[in-house]
Amino acid sequence: MRLLIKNGHIIDPKNGVDEVRDLLIADGVILSAGKNLADEDAQVLDASGKIVAPGLIDLHVHFREPGYEYKEDIETGSKAAAKGGVTTVVCMPNTKPVIDNGALVQYVMNRGREIGLTNVLTCGCISKGQQSGELSEIGELKAAGAVGISDDGRPVLSPSLMKKALEYAQMFDMPILSHSEDLDLVDGGSMNEGYMSTYLGLRGIPKSAESVAVSRDVLLAEETGGRLHVCHVSTKNAIEAIRNAKKRGAKITAETAPHYFSLTDRACDGFNTNAKMNPPLRDDEDVQAVITALADGTIDAIATDHAPHHFDEKELEFDQALNGIVGLETSLGVGVTYLVKTGKLTLSQLIEKMSVNPASILGIDKGTLGEGKPADIVIFDCENPYKVCVHEFESKGKNSPYDGFELYGKVKTTILGGKIVYQED
């Protein structure tokens, strides 16, 4: 099967392309890019006025399978990814049971392949049962196909275990995707500590709950030479710790999530549980720091932390409601609207954060529209705004703070391995 994408504005940072071209795809790979391409056998997609970019790669999603299929499963998660222009996802292993062995890694990846709407990759756990006790069998996880290890949802409690994980995982070239959080400092808090927590009478989570833990982990990475990827960075001081450790040569990468550069804790007003997540939304100063860090490269990637929950788990007292929001179907829109339209990043830089850099963090041959590369592609519209409506989401989770927001960057077509997996009707 052949596909010809005509007259799209191609953004392919890896190959330095930022201009209107045609793109010809055959047998699942990119055959050629150029002007005025023609092919009689190919299905033609007119992309005039649209952006054509490598498919997005989301380093941090929760597809909830096995165990919590009432929140999301690999099929609905994959549909949400396709609709959001995301062609590769990395699942977090805090399922039930947790993914701490090779069989479960293979189960998740096989389900993803059967469904065939996005490349489903997964992390395995750092510690057995995510209990922060013993290391899981990291070699076996790697052999089964896991792309990294993470105890996401929970921090690795013991610094010495984190140190050992960084040492041990190096042998298998496995990055550690770290949910760095000091639970002692969290101390039962349910939102960022500051004026808004005081105003709402909710227990605050100090910024130090993140910055102290990130500081610990970057120092351990520096000392061991291990590969640390810091997940969902939200605070200025955590960013500063990462920036300094990177300068000293530590092998560190970092991600933030769309909500940390587009929303503040003011979104929690009215006890809005769709603005409750962990780490919590911070304040203006942190939002500015996140944007600066994206622009200067301290933060390498944007990942959603897509965390679907059932309505009943969110429609509760604020302190009882579960943490997390869905993100796959709004991440590109939030990125375009809050980073590109505001002039903070170029479109090319945004695609680096959402595709090129995630690919290199994972060490996979994606995030490029180079000839011969897998044809994972997103086509989207940057010119016309659209209104977010959670009821149109493919995800089972409707827990989004962006419902009703006007965004730019609507996905028109998503192509996975040369096959159209999503087409706006």
Partner 1 sequence: MKREVLEGSKKDNCLSGKSIITLFFENSTRTRLSFELASKYLGATAANIAASGSSVAKGETLIDTAKTIDQMAADVIIIRHSSSGAPHLISNYTNASIVNAGDGMNEHPTQALLDFMTMQEKKGGFQGLRVAIVGDVKHSRVARSNVYGLKKLGADVVLGGPATLMPADIEQLGVKAYTDIDRAIEGADVVMGLRIQLERQKKGLFPSVREYHKYFGINEERLKLAAPDAIVMHPGPVNRGVELSAAVIDGDRSVIGEQVTNGVCVRMAVLNLLAGK
d(CA 34, CA 255): 33
Examine residue 311 and tell whether it contacts partner 1 (CB under 8 A).
Answer: no
Take residue 264 and report the two structure tokens written for it. 């503040």
- Minimum CB distance to partner 1 smaller for 182 or for 193: 193
**CA–CA dist 117, 416 (Å, integer):** 7
403 binds partner 1 (CB under 8 A): no
Distances in Å between the alpha carbon of 204 and those of 160, 201, 371?
28, 9, 51
Q: Is 189 in the site for partner 1 (CB under 8 A)?
A: no
Interface residue with partner 1 among 87, 88, 101, 197 (CB under 8 A) is 197
* Torsion of the alpha carbons at 48, 53, 58 and 59, rounded to the nearest 10: -170
Choose the contact partner of 152 out of Zn ion, partner 1, none; CB within 5 to 8 A by kind.
Zn ion
Q: Which of 100, 305, 376, 381 is catalytic?
A: 305
Residue 179 makes contact with Zn ion by CB under 5 A: yes
Pseudo-torsion of CA 260, 263, 269, 274, nearest 10°?
Answer: -70
- Could you tell me how many residues of this chain bind partner 1 (CB under 8 A)? 20
CA 77 to each of CA 88, 116, 200, 258: distance values in angstroms, whole numbers, following the listed order: 11, 11, 33, 18
The answer to whether 118 and 82 are in contact (CB under 8 A) is yes
Q: What residue 198 binds from Zn ion, partner 1, none (CB within 5 to 8 A, per partner kind)? A: partner 1
Does 286 participate in binding Zn ion (rule CB under 5 A)? Answer: no
Look at residue 210 and give the partner it binds from Zn ion, partner 1, none, a contact being a CB closer than 5 to 8 Å depending on partner kind: none
Q: Does 318 bind partner 1 (CB under 8 A)?
A: yes
Out of 46, 159, 199, 296, point to the residue binding partner 1 (CB under 8 A): 199
Between 277 and 375, CB nearer to Zn ion:
277
Lookup: tokens for 101: 């062995």
Instruction: Tell me how far, at minimum, the Cβ of 213 lies from partner 1, in Å.
Output: 20
271 binds partner 1 (CB under 8 A): yes
Q: Residue 423 pairs with which residues in a beta bridge?
A: 413
Length, in residues, of the chain: 425
425 binds, options Zn ion, partner 1, none, Cβ within 5 to 8 A by partner type? none
* Helix (H), strand (E) at residue 222: helix 208-224
Side chain identity at residue 58, one-letter code: D
Q: Is 319 left (phi over 0), alpha (psi -120 to 50) or beta?
A: alpha
Q: Does the protein bind partner 1 through residue 317 (CB under 8 A)?
A: yes
Is 62 one of the binding residues for Zn ion (CB under 5 A)?
Answer: no
Q: What backbone phi and psi angles, to 5 degrees, belong to 159?
A: -60, -35
342 is an interface residue for partner 1 by CB under 8 A: no
List phi, psi (to 5°) of 80: -65, -40
Smallest separation, CB 104 to Zn ion (Å): 19
Among partner 1, Zn ion, none, the one that 197 touches (CB under a kind-dependent 5 to 8 A) is partner 1
Confirm if 346 and 51 have CB atoms less than 8 A apart. no
- Does the annotation count 18 as an active-site position? no
Nearer to partner 1, 51 or 200 (CB): 200
Direct distance between the N- and C-terminal alpha carbons of the chain, in angstroms, rounded to an integer: 22
User: Which residues, numbered 132-161, are part of the site for Zn ion (CB under 5 A)?
Assistant: 152
Q: How far is the CB of 313 from partner 1 (least distance, A)?
A: 10
271 binds, among Zn ion, partner 1, none (CB under 5 to 8 A by kind): partner 1
Catalytic site positions: 305
Tell me which residues touch Zn ion (CB under 5 A). Answer: 152, 179
Tell me which residues touch partner 1 (CB under 8 A). Answer: 193-195, 197-204, 270-271, 312, 315-320
